[in-house]
């Protein structure tokens, strides 16, 4: 028997399938409502979607955490060094996070969810 790619099944000959298809397998289908086909695979499993998302955006997520953490630290140290009120620290941190999210592009999904097709 040989495995059939992306189905989780094994085949002893070309006409006989021994098991059910794997629901976690990635499949590609055309989206019926869009004329130009989206080339991202459709991933049904939530676990596989999460893993694909983290693999695709992991470096970006870590970079964003570091940049925002450094901003919060610098703003806190600067505000406390000048003896400014504590509420200004929260306002500066919030303004920095909002400003950072406005100038950076959003994270992207490398797949389509079956919910996207409904």
pLDDT in tens, the chain (118 residues): 555 555 554 444 443 443 444 555 555 555 555 556 678 888 887 888 888 888 888 999 999 999 999 999 999 999 999 999 999 999 999 999 999 999 998 888 888 887 777 6
111 burial class (0-12, 13-18, 19+ CB within 10 angstroms)? middle
31 CB-near residues (< 8 Å, 6+ apart): 37, 38, 112, 116, 117
In a domain, 117, yes or no: no
- Residue 64's pLDDT is 94
In a domain, 71, yes or no: yes
In a domain, 55, yes or no: yes
Range of the domain at 52: 2-112
- Residue 108's pLDDT is 83
Token couple for 93: 């941190």
Instruction: State the pTM of this model.
Output: 0.58
In a domain, 66, yes or no: yes
Number of domains into which the chain is organized: 1
HSE of 65 in the Cβ direction (CA atoms, 13 Å)?
6
> Is the sign of the CA dihedral 25, 26, 30, 31 positive or negative?
positive
């Amino acid at each position: 028997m040989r495995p059939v790619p992306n189905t989780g099944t094994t085949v002893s000959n070309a006409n006989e399938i021994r098991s059910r298809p794997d629901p976690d397998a990635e499949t590609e289908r055309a989206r019926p409502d869009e004329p130009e086909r989206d080339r991202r695979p459709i991933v049904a499993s939530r676990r596989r979607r999460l893993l694909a998302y983290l693999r695709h955006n992991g470096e970006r997520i870590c970079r964003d955490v570091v940049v925002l953490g450094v901003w919060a630290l610098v703003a806190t140290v600067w505000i406390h060094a000048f003896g400014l009120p504590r509420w200004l620290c929260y306002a500066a941190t919030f303004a920095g996070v909002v400003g950072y999210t406005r100038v950076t592009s959003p994270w992207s999904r490398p797949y389509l969810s079956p919910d996207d097709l409904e």
